[in-house]
């Protein structure tokens, strides 16, 4: 296993699907899982919760994110930290590239 993960361009247009949602785990270790999402315009992850704290980072595009009942228009470089079990959703207004970091508890 490598001691690091390096990606040159998280916003490569190849990460944007023509339809649907594309997700790809780009890093997974004992502490963090990093998942890169590409959303076609109009796609969404409906409200759900996660068993661990997480960070949403919008890298490209415009999305509507709801976190704990509050809704935000989120563009490139928007960032949200969420506690475990907090309801959240993401709706892509335009094609969106989003990085999701799942923060695992120390073992």
User: HSE on the CB side for 15, CA within 13 Å?
Assistant: 20
Domain coverage including residue 74 = 29-103
pLDDT tens-digit map of 17-64: 999 999 999 999 999 999 999 999 999 999 999 999 999 999 999 999
Give the pLDDT confidence of 62-103 residue by residue, as tens digits. 999 999 999 999 999 999 999 999 999 999 999 999 999 999
pLDDT at 3: 85
Task: Say what the pLDDT of residue 17 is.
Answer: 93
We report the CATH number of the domain holding residue 56 as: 2.60.120.10
Residue where the block lists tokens 């490209």: 60
38 in any annotated domain: yes
The count of structural domains within the chain is: 1
Q: Could you tell me if residue 41 is inside a domain?
A: yes
Can you tell me the distance from the alpha carbon of 87 to that of 107, in angstroms, rounded to the nearest whole number?
A: 25
Mean of all residue pLDDT scores within the chain: 94
pLDDT of residue 78: 98
What is the value of pTM for the model shown?
Answer: 0.93
């Amino acid at each position: 296993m490598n001691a690091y993960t390096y990606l040159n361009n998280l916003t490569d247009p190849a990460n944007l699907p023509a339809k649907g949602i594309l997700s790809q785990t780009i890093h997974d270790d004992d502490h963090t899982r990093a998942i890169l999402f590409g959303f076609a315009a109009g796609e969404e992850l409906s409200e759900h919760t996660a068993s661990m704290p997480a960070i949403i980072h919008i890298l490209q595009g415009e999305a509507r994110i709801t976190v704990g009942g509050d809704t935000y228009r989120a563009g490139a470089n928007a960032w949200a930290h969420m506690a475990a079990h907090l309801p959240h959703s993401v709706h892509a207004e335009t094609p969106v590239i989003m990085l999701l970091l799942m923060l695992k508890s120390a073992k």
